[in-house]
Amino acid sequence: MKRPQTNSLRYNKPALAMKTLYKVSTFLILGLGILHISMTLVIFRSLTPGALWFVSGGMVIIFLSFFNFILMGEAGKQRIVRMLTHTANLIGLLFAGAMLIIESRRGRPGPLSWVVLALLVFETIAAFRYSSR
């Protein structure tokens, strides 16, 4: 009697779910960076050094998502790409944590700060898991 062929998708559901969530979180981070830049003219009424710093923060967030998109592709098999992506994720996570601490000292941090931190924690963990494939 012939053994039925196994469906590899059925046995890899957790890995597939993690990969999908990793892609979704990377798109969310990209959207967060675009939102950050688009809010500049709402928060700052004119082009000031503070406004440029705010825009640069959005650009950093966008480039963080670019690193993760590159990791998902064929280039992610290269050691240097993995190292740079993990370093960028850890730096982004460090900055998000620092912003949360600064906001905590000034008062209570808003819920968006916690969401961003959670998103970056997941992104960092997912990138490490994804690159170990």
Can you give the pLDDT at residue 6?
Answer: 52
Query: Could you tell me how far CA 106 lies from the centroid of its own chain?
Result: 26
Residue 11's pLDDT is 57
Q: What stretch of H or E contains 21?
A: helix 13-38
CB 54 within 8 A of CB 36: yes
The 10s digit of each residue's pLDDT in 77-129 is 999 999 999 999 999 999 999 999 998 998 888 888 899 999 999 999 999 99
Distance of alpha carbon 124 from alpha carbon 109, whole angstroms: 22
In this predicted structure, what is the pLDDT of residue 107? 85
pLDDT given at position 3 = 53
What is the residue whose two structure tokens read 């600064």? Answer: 102
How many CB atoms are closer than 10 A to CB 1? Answer: 3
What's the predicted TM-score (pTM) here?
A: 0.84
Q: What is the mean pLDDT of residues 4-9?
A: 52
Phi and psi (nearest 5°) for 77? -80, -15
**Token pair of 132 as six digits:** 């170990």
